[in-house]
Amino acid sequence: MLYIVFLTGICNLHCKYCGGTIPEEVMPHEIQYDLRDLRDFISQDNDAIIAFYGGEPLLRIDEMVEMMNILPAKRFVVQTNGFFLHRIPEKYLNRLDTILVSIDGRREITDFYRGNGVYDLVVDRVKKIRSLYHGDLIARMTVTEKSDIYRDVRHLLSLPFDHVHWQLNVVWSPDGMWHDFDSWVDKSYNPGITKLTDYFISEIKKGHIPGIVPFLGVIKRMYNNEYGVPCGAGRDSFSITTDGRILACPIGGEFKWNELGDIWSKTPHDIRNSIDVDEPCKSCEIFKICGGRCLFANKERLWGEEGFQKICSTVKHLVKEMERAKITIKDLVARGKYRLKDFFYPPFNNTTEIIP
């Protein structure tokens, strides 16, 4: 299973859509448990994947290194804002199977939401480690009203990233972040997904598979019999807070439905398949592909039922476009240009949620 381990609740940034540091009443800023207790919990799972999370986890590189030394995990992942990538000791850098770096696209988009100068600093840090790091380097975008999905994804693919993933800023959203969501979806986002699909199809015909995570992840789910939200929250992905609580989903540590116990009173076996999504997702025609999109959004519906359906419309459009791409993929595979598994991503749960 995947264990998303919070190293700290503190963040050095204050992004407009996030708010930065997690309030202490939600989660202590620093680890409260003995690392040996976490080791004892994780050691009960022979297929453990550890993803380091925050706050900004690389503010606590020493703790990350100590965990990598003692935790019996098969793989390690980190989600970071990228500021401190250059400080990871090279020996441990390449023990990370996946590094996800938060960057929202072009300079003007990233700096608007994340702070002036953030884009240049993060790109500099990524370039510094690229020649040293041999794992999967992912640009992880937050997409909101100023984003142009086609231009921003294409831009990030031109940088030293292996893959690009994004999430729509729709789980919760501070007041004033969206002025006209419907118009943005109709005039910008959905047309951008169509244009990006055209690019994707054109490139695979040339022999190159662009590393667009939501596209590859949806294609994989079209062929494989997977169940539930693609991130695995509540099924085979769980979060460990700094005070040792176990959450189904890393966001929303203050919600009681999300809390499943702690590392002292539960085992990995106890928590597997703890929480499932509710209707209308299970009755939806694309449920086998989408899986309900997001456990937290399904449970809380902070945009109400109407807003919930609006977000679903973006997923349905994405799936429709991947059905179109699938026709080309089937043809190319039949002609021996690719193996079907060349399009299956991710190879393990690396915290990319697949459905934006």
Q: What is the pLDDT of residues 3-22, one digit of tens each?
A: 999 999 999 999 998 878 99
Q: What is the pLDDT of residue 305?
A: 86
Q: What is the pLDDT of residues 90-137, one digit of tens each?
A: 999 999 999 999 999 999 999 999 999 999 999 999 999 999 999 999
Beta strands in the chain (DSSP E): 2-6, 49-53, 75-80, 98-102, 136-143, 163-168, 237-240, 245-247, 259-262
Average pLDDT over residues 229-243: 97
Average pLDDT over residues 304-321: 93
Q: What is the pLDDT of residue 335?
A: 97
Least confident stretch, 43-47, 244-248, 308-312: 308-312
Alpha carbon distance 225, 351 (integer Å): 19
Average pLDDT over residues 272-288: 95
Share of the chain above pLDDT 90, in %: 91
Question: Above 90 in pLDDT, residue 253?
Answer: no
Q: Are strands 98-102 and 75-80 parallel, antiparallel or unpaired?
A: parallel
Say what the pTM is. Answer: 0.96
Least confident stretch, 137-146, 195-204, 263-272, 305-314: 305-314
Domains of the chain listed by start with CATH number:
1-134+234-274 (3.20.20.70), 171-229+275-356 (no CATH)
Average pLDDT over residues 74-78: 98
Order of strands, sheet of 2-6, starting from the edge strand that comes earlier in the sequence: 163-168, 136-143, 98-102, 75-80, 49-53, 2-6, 237-240, 245-247, 259-262
Q: What is the pLDDT of residue 118?
A: 98
Helical (H) or strand (E) element with 108: helix 107-114
Q: Where does the pLDDT of residue 175 fall: very low under 50, low under 70, confident under 90, or very high at 90 and above?
A: low
Least confident stretch, 50-59, 123-132, 144-153, 304-313: 304-313
CB neighbour list of residue 120: distance below 8 Å, 6 or more residues apart: 107
User: For all residues of the chain together, what is the average pLDDT?
Assistant: 96
Question: Above 80 in pLDDT, residue 172?
Answer: no
Q: What is the pLDDT of residue 60?
A: 98
